[in-house]
Amino acid sequence: MDLVARTPALSTICELLALTDTRSLRNLCLTNSCLNKLCRVYLVYRWTNSKHCPEPSIKCFALHLQKHPELRSMVRIVDFGVLQALPPRTQSESDSSTKSEYDPKLVNLAEQLRPDINYDISYNKPALLEDIKLGCEDALAVGILAWCKRITHLNMTIPELKPDDPQSFNVWSSRFANEINIQNELGTSDLPLAKLQYVEVIPREPEDAIYWELVTPFVHLPKVKSLVAWRLSDADPLRHIWYLTKTSPDEDDDKYSIRYFFHALDRISNVEELILMHSGFFDDSRGLSELLNAPGCLKKLTLWPCNDYEYFYFPDRDELVEDITSCHETLEELDLNFNPIPGYFPHDASTPPLIPDPVAEKAYRRCTRLRRLACPMIGLFTDGDDSSDESGHYEITIVLDRLPKSIEYLKPRRRHFVEDWFYNRPPVKPYIEGFIELLREAAPGRRFSNLKVLDLSETFVDDPDTNGIDRIKELAEIQGIKLLLAERQV
């Protein structure tokens, strides 16, 4: 009953059902009508076009909003899922298209939408309306975004740019978001996307890559606080295709290219959370730097690279240090999930020493407000001198100075330790000793007195037969620190 009391709609439904005389068919019909009116808000509050969800198509949703304009202000969360593009059309096919190809309902929708997108826009508005009439889902999404001005959460797909398919260059939703940025700069009031706080962008196909500049319009929307982007890249092949995009009939007029308008103004970003999943950036393009430098108060940064080296790479570690430290004054959470740099592996007497990791050595400790850190474990360790001792053994020790004193949650990663725990018996002893030393420094009044959670679930297995594991658990309990270890597989 507490749930009913806290939920007005549910409380009203229960009261309505309790007072209904079910012996009368008329009463049942009236009750059904009341329930429809009561619940219709929640039917549009959250809408998804996911292939796993039986929601109506985006076309049906757009037509429903056209028919019931009072529902537009009730839409809050939209997941466009996979937006289907129009089939590729040759120029002759486009020129020979007739009104007979149009869906009459969508023709009416496009005409009704016209005043809602009547900006001095940086792309071809007639082409947008043409695509709506033809049923292009990316274009229909613009109609929904233009009408539903109170959307707070948006999930959408970005198509792959294909030189042989002009339709793929339309990217209507991104261009519409860019237009809203321009209108914000001009002081236009009552704009769409003004309440948008969370944006997640994925490629249309799992194997595709998204050129990074296509997400920049969403970074600069005024209320957006979180941007999650999958498979971003600034690789040369994508950049060359991007430079082919045009929006002017005059193909020689470069100032009318999409990319020109995406960078037409020096905009400020209010993004506080930037999550780049399975993405990669190259050294010379500086795409990652531009993304990180756009927000003035970035608090959370997640970088998870992809192993597809055609489109995805990671910058030189020194470049990455600069990128991370550019937001060191505000950064509170950092999650880096990439493999160690080549040659940077645990070793024994027969292998070379560890290669220094500039990110671990320079970046973490400069982020003086950093509370949560997930990173490669090896970067927190060193083997001391440049040369081994007489036995050829390198002494591996933890370097506590690489961590800021503000740290509250630490998650070092070394997944192959967990995977090989009971098979190849990885050399974990020096690393266990290192984290024992760290836990000693987590006592009240010591260096890491703020530490509350040590997450070793991707590093060590909860295996009492391994020397040091019980000691780590005992010391964590003494210090009042929550310790997480990988479960032992039977």
Chain segment 23-65, per-residue pLDDT in tens? 666 666 776 777 666 666 667 888 887 655 555 689 999 999 9
Q: Has residue 248 got a pLDDT over 50? A: no
Residue 253 above 50 pLDDT?
Answer: no
Exposed / middle / buried, residue 1 (Cβ in 10 Å: 0-12, 13-18, 19+) = exposed
Q: What is the pLDDT of residue 264?
A: 46
Do 31 and 80 lie in one domain? The reply is: no
Phi, psi of 465 (to 5 degrees): -80, -10
Which tokens sit at 92? 């002759």
Q: Are residues 386 and 257 in the same domain?
A: no
The answer to whether residues 420 and 483 belong to one domain is yes
Domain range for 9 is 2-38
Structure tokens belonging to residue 50: 């996911």
- Nearest partner of 456 among 485, 420, 421, judged by Cα: 485
Residues 447 and 360 in one domain: yes
pLDDT at residue 398 greater than cutoff 80: yes
* Distances in whole angstroms, Cα of residue 378 to Cα of each of 221, 325, 327, 332, 463: 38, 20, 24, 22, 21
Q: How many CA atoms lie within 13 A of 490 on its CB side?
A: 0
CA atoms within 13 A on the CB side of 329: 5
Distance of alpha carbon 253 from alpha carbon 73, whole angstroms? 40
Pairwise pLDDT comparison (126 vs 424), residue with the higher score = 126
C-alpha to C-alpha distance for 388 and 229, rounded to whole angstroms: 44
Q: With CA atoms as reference, report the closest residue to 143 among 225, 208, 78.
A: 78
- Number of folded domains that form the chain: 3
The DSSP H or E segment spanning 278 is strand 273-279
Percent of the chain at pLDDT exceeding 70: 73
Considering the domain architecture, whether residues 372 and 397 belong to the same structural domain is answered as yes
Q: What is residue 41's predicted lDDT score, i.e. its pLDDT?
A: 62
Q: Is 124 inside a domain boundary?
A: yes
Q: What are phi and psi of 11, to 5 degrees?
A: -60, -40
Domain membership of residue 191 (yes or no) is: yes
What is the C-alpha to C-alpha distance for residues 138 and 134, in angstroms, rounded to an integer? 11
Let me know whether 218 and 126 are in one domain.
yes
In a domain, 328, yes or no: no
Instruction: Compute the average pLDDT of residues 263-283.
Output: 79
| Tokens of residue 466, six digits | 């391994």
User: Cα-atom radius of gyration of the chain, to the nearest Å?
Assistant: 28
Co-location of 125 and 145 in the same domain: yes
Q: Are residues 391 and 487 located together in one domain of the fold? A: yes
Structure confidence at residue 108 (pLDDT) = 94
Query: At what angle are helices 104-113 and 125-133 packed, to 10 degrees?
Result: 150
Same domain, 80 and 173: yes
- Same domain for 267 and 349, yes or no, is no
pLDDT digits (tens, 9 = 90+) for 307-344: 665 666 666 778 888 889 989 999 999 999 876 544 44
**Do 24 and 146 fall within a single domain?**
no
Please report whether residue 322 resides in a domain: no
Residue 267 lies in a domain: yes
Instruction: Note whether 91 and 156 are same-domain residues.
Output: yes
**Residue 221: closest CA among 188, 260, 190, 182:** 182
